[in-house]
Amino acid sequence: MAATNEQIQQAVESFFLLFNGVIIFLMSFGYTLIESGGVRSQNAGHSLFKTLLILITSAIAYWISGYAFSFGGDANVILGTRFWASERFGAKDRYPNVENFTSSNNIYKLNNQDPYIHYFYHYMLAFLVTNIAASSFAERCRVPVYVLFSIIMSGFVYPFLAHWMWGTNGWLGAVVGARDYGGSAIIFLTAGVAALIGTIFLGPRFGRFEPRTLPLFGHSIPVTSVGAILVAFGFFVLNSGADHRITGRAYGDRVGHGLVNTLLSGATSGGTYYLLQRIIENIQSSPKHLKRRVFLSTVNSILAGMVAVAGGAVAYNPWSAVIIGFIAALSFLLWSKLLIKIQIDDPVETAAVHIGGGLWGIFAVPIFRRTIGPNVNGEFVEDVFNSIIYRFGYGESWRGLLNSLCTAAVVMAWTAFFIGLLFLLLKLLNLLKVSKEEELRGIDLFQHGEPAYALRIYCAACGEQLQGKTIEQETNGAGARSNFPTIVTDAEGAIVPIEYFSDRHGTGNSTDTSKIKSLNEENRV
């Protein structure tokens, strides 16, 4: 028997959502590669293991409670109340009274997707939020923190916000009337605030701000580049698929707008930031070793533009995306410099990217959103929405700014309270941060027993690559730094801490001093 139009549409929409979920999974690992390449080599493996750990724990937490809070049946304005641990979920022929398909409501929900694909897609968003936030804890966070953080974020904090904006009867979307199509606030601002709270409690890495502010360079631009490509790929899918529909002329048009707007906003933001940063450096005439990591920061500015446009990428005209990207670059630059000024150490600028981009992005929606929109059947309808650019004199247009303000305030307060409470308890229990020795000589070996690279590469800088000379001179003026590991070479000529040399060659404490290499000479930029 030939498939009906409804069955074909269901298959198309389900596959569209499935494809988007898989790409968002890759996007999450793109963030991991950006983090791994942006930290020092002795901590790269820790960043990779962190993502694996978050994948495991968040999957269980979201299955037990996360999906039920977000999209469970019998939902009220605060939370869903069914589908705990997927109880009575799916299988219409076995459970006639269970909703098999998500509501076809044109504003809040999807259109005839399979419920398990719906679950898979939204779990990937929860995983993405958690993984993004945790990247700011790099190079100094203990393993149990990631476990507890993942459970709280994916099983409790994020699901409530998702329900309030996108769930049936959620109070932000259904009652207040706020809109955040692609998650500028619900996904990315949430991640940014959690990242900021976590890194405040963790404190700076050793040597980052003492004796004076010095950059701690990442070890691999190629790894960061691959991660950036995956994340950008994910943004194209996430932003253009914000409606979770593709059938119908209007939805096809919105998917196309989402792709183009994401590209333009990211490109404008990255280009603007790069030019501004070069101008600032030329004016300040900064020494070479104090210059900003322009590659990583330019990548982050591109991502900030994509974060900012996510809130309404499907609803903007392309010229609006250019303006949004330009302002996103300024917002990211200001947040980045502010955090450094107040000595908050965010290794890969996670908080600056996602607070700077996400906060601006949620306010851009009521300013630039087109008035045209789709109906239930996927056809165009005129004058569906109000926005300040197109309906300047309408009160409803300006009310959108209040809705966005409400959304931003709720996201920031909700996330900051629960993540702050978690990190406060962990700090009181002394479970938060690794020791100074572990941080300097590498979390990979101390926490995991295995480096990400061979020792001859892994220990090339031993904790503070490219900066030994400057820090040593400022510490005691004699070129000797008592709190920095002694460096020797192994049989292959690799520079390693003296303890590893002794352990591998059985020399105990009687190390041949003739093999000691100067940290300044071997690891200078």
State pLDDT tens for residues 407-446.
999 999 999 999 999 999 999 999 999 988 888 778 888 8
Residue 250: count of CB within 10 angstroms of its CB: 21
Q: Which two tokens stand for residue 396?
A: 């409803």
Residue 458's pLDDT is 54
Task: Return the exposure string of 118-155: e unless at least 16 CB atoms fall within 10 Å of the residue's CB, then b.
Answer: bbbbbbbbbbbbbbbbbbbbbbbbbeebbbebbbbbbb
Residue 97's pLDDT is 53
Tell which wins on pLDDT, 479 or 221. Answer: 221
The highest-confidence range among 91-95, 144-148, 436-440, by mean pLDDT, is 144-148
Average pLDDT over the chain, rounded to whole? Answer: 82
Tell me the residue type at 102. T
Residue 73's pLDDT is 77
Section 87-112 average pLDDT: 50
Q: Is the pLDDT of residue 91 over 60?
A: no
Q: Is the pLDDT of residue 63 over 60?
A: yes
Residue 1's pLDDT is 66
State pLDDT tens for residues 270-320.
999 999 988 888 887 766 555 556 888 999 999 999 999 999 999 999 999
Q: What is the dihedral of CA 111, 114, 115, 119, to 10 degrees?
A: -90
State pLDDT tens for residues 237-265.
999 999 988 988 999 999 999 999 999 99
Q: Which two tokens stand for residue 52?
A: 């694996």
The share of the chain scoring above pLDDT 70, in percent, equals 80
Q: Is the pLDDT of residue 501 over 50?
A: no
Residue 168's pLDDT is 83
Which domains does the chain carry? Answer: 5-444 (1.10.3430.10)
Contacts of 222 (CB under 8 A, 6+ apart): 37
Q: Is the pLDDT of residue 472 over 60?
A: no
By three-state DSSP, how is residue 183 classified? Answer: coil
Residue 452's pLDDT is 83
Q: How confident is the model at residue 75 (pLDDT cuts 50, 70, 90)?
A: confident
Residue 290's pLDDT is 52
Residue 291's pLDDT is 56
| pTM exceeds cut of 0.75 | yes
State pLDDT tens for residues 340-387.
999 999 999 999 999 999 999 999 999 999 988 888 778 888 877 788
Cα separation of 46 and 296, whole Å?
A: 19
By three-state DSSP, how is residue 505 classified? Answer: helix
Residue 197's pLDDT is 98
